[in-house]
């Protein structure tokens, strides 16, 4: 049965904490998953959260900390002494999670925590991981894995695997390396068990293996693992030495973070914010794109003001301004969304740039033709003025054509220059196409009505 974080549950928990009822709190949390406890922590004060952490065993406490929101985790860690961070959390974490926790600390606290770690090898692994870019394969990999030497026989291999397995939560693959620790391939556990104990590993492993290097972008890692249905992927350095592995749960986190970031960007929100954040961060996240919208509105208003006399002479022109603006914005967002989705999914486009451009022009042309004909028919029977009918239809045709191409090209250009193409959707593309639509519509209308 799934846990539901209700107000009644939280109030009951708060009451038990206020009464210092440790047994009652422990019983209430006993059957909860760490992710459920982390979710519940968002509704507690820092003192209440620390009360709960004191009751959790090391494994559970470390899992809860990993599942917590990053901002809440930083606030909690800032209030804990270094020895508690190590003994309660770091000692029970895989190297990648431990590195993430240490990265949340300021430099002085990082040094204190690293010096508190009794296992020098573990501390070294964390230091190594902190050297990598947090958005690269090296930054998200874990050092814990099972590897064997190609020169070992099966008997030695089984003995070594049993030792290494103590440090690894789940064994997805057994990696094979040479004497220089270079990755050679992957070993099937089934083949290992069924083989003679004197058989050399070099005769058993499969050299065909998907791998990434330490500076591979995390998005590319997710694409590779998704494409080849991998539950884990090894990470090597520039000369092929095995450095760590990335597991499927890490990739799920990456996909979720990227989706959230793109959704916020499409909505005109910069930065990673939550509804529970304070007022100023929420304002700061919304302000940039609202400013873009404001400036775009000023430009549109200036265009309308420039054609004020024309609109006063032919008032019917004003009736179709919302239509032109809406169609320009909608078509632009649709076109850009398709391109952004393609880029985000990692689909390798086999079409040449010229062929792709011709296809996009064809789609834009047919779409523009269909809607301009529909508005022509509507105005022909209702407007009573052929000049208005032609002006609106031709304007709509041109606007849809340009908005569609604009929405296709801009994300590709941004992607080419290593800028997130999600910027090309939402407020940006809508504002730009509104301005373009007004300019085209009033320009075409001036030609038909001899306005100027």
Among residues 120, 169, 161, the alpha carbon closest in space to that of 144 is found at 169
Query: In whole angstroms, what is the distance from residue 196 CA to residue 191 CA?
Result: 10
What DSSP string describes 28-61? HHTT--HHHHHHHHTTS-HHHHHHHHHHS-HHHH
Q: What is the pLDDT of residue 179?
A: 92
- Judge whether residue 394 has pLDDT over 90: yes
Q: What is the pLDDT of residue 186?
A: 92
What Rg value do the Cα atoms of the chain yield, rounded?
Answer: 30
Beta strands in 336-386 (DSSP E): none
Name the architecture of domain 279-449.
Answer: Orthogonal Bundle (1.10)
Query: In whole angstroms, what is the distance from residue 47 CA to residue 57 CA?
Result: 18
Among residues 165, 167, 187, the alpha carbon closest in space to that of 176 is found at 187
Q: What is the pLDDT of residue 26?
A: 87
- Other Cβ atoms closer than 10 A to 371: 18
- Which pairing describes strands 212-213 and 146-149: parallel, antiparallel, or unpaired? unpaired
Q: Crossing angle of helices 7-18/34-41, nearest 10°?
A: 80
Q: What is the pLDDT of residues 121-136, one digit of tens each?
A: 889 999 999 999 888 9
In CATH terms, the superfamily for domain 7-134 is MgtE N-terminal domain-like (1.25.60.10)
Query: In whole angstroms, what is the distance from residue 340 CA to residue 317 CA?
Result: 35
- Residue 270, token pair as written in the block: 């910069």
Q: What is the pLDDT of residues 243-262, one digit of tens each?
A: 999 988 888 877 777 766 66
- Judge whether residue 270 has pLDDT over 70: no
- Judge whether residue 365 has pLDDT over 60: yes
The mean per-residue pLDDT over the stretch 429-437 comes to 82
- Judge whether residue 326 has pLDDT over 90: no
Q: What is the pLDDT of residues 169-210, one digit of tens each?
A: 788 889 999 999 999 999 988 888 888 989 999 999 999 999
Q: Please give the helix or strand (H or E) that residue 243 lies within, else none.
A: strand 242-247
Among residues 360, 434, 373, 432, the alpha carbon closest in space to that of 401 is found at 360
- Asked: is 146-257 a CATH 3.30.70.3040 domain? The reply is no
Q: What is the pLDDT of residue 345?
A: 62
Query: In whole angstroms, what is the distance from residue 332 CA to residue 406 CA?
Result: 7
Average pLDDT, the chain: 83
The mean per-residue pLDDT over the stretch 16-44 comes to 86
Among residues 449, 377, 445, 439, the alpha carbon closest in space to that of 402 is found at 439
- Which pairing describes strands 146-149 and 174-177: parallel, antiparallel, or unpaired? parallel
Query: In whole angstroms, what is the distance from residue 152 CA to residue 310 CA?
Result: 87
Q: What is the pLDDT of residue 424?
A: 57
Among residues 160, 155, 182, the alpha carbon closest in space to that of 171 is found at 160
- Judge whether residue 347 has pLDDT over 60: no
Instruction: Please state the pTM of the whole predicted model.
Output: 0.66
Query: In whole angstroms, what is the distance from residue 95 CA to residue 84 CA?
Result: 18
For residue 423, name the pLDDT band (cuts at 50, 70, 90).
low
Query: In whole angstroms, what is the distance from residue 132 CA to residue 148 CA?
Result: 25
The mean per-residue pLDDT over the stretch 230-254 comes to 90
Whether 7-134 shares its CATH topology with 146-257 is answered: no
3-state secondary structure of 176: strand
Extents of the domains making up the chain: 7-134, 146-257, 279-449
242-247, strands of its sheet edge to edge = 212-213, 232-236, 242-247
Among residues 452, 320, 303, 305, the alpha carbon closest in space to that of 390 is found at 320
- Residue 292, token pair as written in the block: 């873009």
3-state secondary structure of 186: strand
Among residues 377, 404, 407, 402, the alpha carbon closest in space to that of 392 is found at 377
The mean per-residue pLDDT over the stretch 291-315 comes to 76
Q: What percentage of the chain has pLDDT greater than the value 70? A: 86
For residue 337, name the pLDDT band (cuts at 50, 70, 90).
confident
User: What are the Cα distances from residue 115, in Å, to 53, 124, 138, 143, 311?
Assistant: 23, 11, 23, 19, 74
User: What are the Cα distances from residue 85, in Å, to 254, 300, 351?
Assistant: 25, 56, 53
Least confident piece of the model among 6-20, 120-134, 338-352: 338-352
CA atoms within 13 A on the CB side of 255: 15
Q: What is the pLDDT of residue 1?
A: 47
Encode burial over 392-403: b for 16+ CB neighbours within 10 A, e otherwise: bbbbbbbbbbbb
């Amino acid at each position: 049965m799934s846990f539901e974080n209700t107000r009644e549950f939280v109030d009951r928990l708060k009451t038990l904490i206020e009464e210092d009822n440790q047994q009652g709190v422990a019983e209430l949390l006993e059957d909860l998953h760490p992710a459920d406890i982390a979710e519940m922590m968002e509704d507690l004060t820092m003192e209440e959260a620390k009360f709960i952490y004191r009751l959790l065993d090391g494994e559970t406490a470390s899992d809860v900390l990993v599942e917590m929101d990053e901002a809440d985790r930083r606030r909690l860690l800032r209030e804990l002494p270094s020895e508690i961070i190590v003994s309660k959390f770091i000692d029970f974490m895989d190297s990648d999670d431990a590195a993430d926790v240490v990265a949340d600390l300021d430099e002085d606290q990082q040094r204190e925590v690293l010096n508190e770690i009794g296992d020098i090898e573990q501390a070294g692994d964390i230091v190594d991981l902190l050297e990598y870019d947090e958005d690269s394969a090296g930054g998200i990999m874990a050092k814990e894995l099972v590897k064997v030497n190609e020169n070992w026989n099966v008997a030695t291999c089984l003995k070594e695997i049993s030792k290494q397995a103590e440090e690894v939560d789940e064994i997805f693959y057994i990696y094979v390396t040479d004497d220089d620790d270079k990755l050679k391939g992957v070993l099937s556990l089934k083949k290992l068990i069924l083989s003679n104990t004197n058989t050399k590993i070099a005769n058993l492993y499969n050299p065909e293996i998907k791998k990434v290097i330490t500076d591979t972008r995390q998005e590319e890692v997710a694409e590779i693992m998704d494409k080849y249905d991998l539950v884990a992927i090894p990470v090597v350095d520039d000369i092929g030495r095995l450095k760590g592995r990335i597991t499927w749960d890490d990739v799920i986190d990456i996909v979720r973070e990227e989706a959230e970031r793109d959704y916020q960007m499409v909505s005109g929100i910069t930065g990673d914010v939550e509804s529970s954040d304070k007022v100023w961060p929420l304002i700061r996240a919304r302000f940039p794109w609202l400013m873009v919208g404001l400036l775009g509105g000023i430009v549109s208003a200036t265009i309308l003001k420039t054609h004020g006399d024309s609109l006063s002479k032919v008032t019917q022109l004003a009736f179709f301004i919302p239509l032109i603006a809406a169609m320009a914005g909608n078509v632009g967002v649709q076109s850009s969304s398709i391109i952004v989705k393609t880029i985000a999914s990692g689909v390798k486009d086999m079409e040449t740039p010229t062929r792709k451009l011709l296809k996009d022009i064809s789609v834009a042309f047919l779409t523009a033709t269909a809607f301009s004909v529909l508005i022509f028919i509507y105005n022909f029977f209702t407007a009573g003025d052929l000049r208005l009918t032609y002006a609106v239809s031709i304007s709509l045709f041109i606007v849809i054509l340009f908005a569609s191409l604009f929405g296709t090209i801009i994300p590709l250009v941004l992607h080419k220059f290593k800028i997130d193409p999600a910027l090309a959707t939402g407020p940006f593309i809508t504002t730009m196409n509104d301005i373009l639509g007004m300019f085209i519509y009033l320009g075409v209308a001036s030609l038909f009505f001899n306005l100027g």
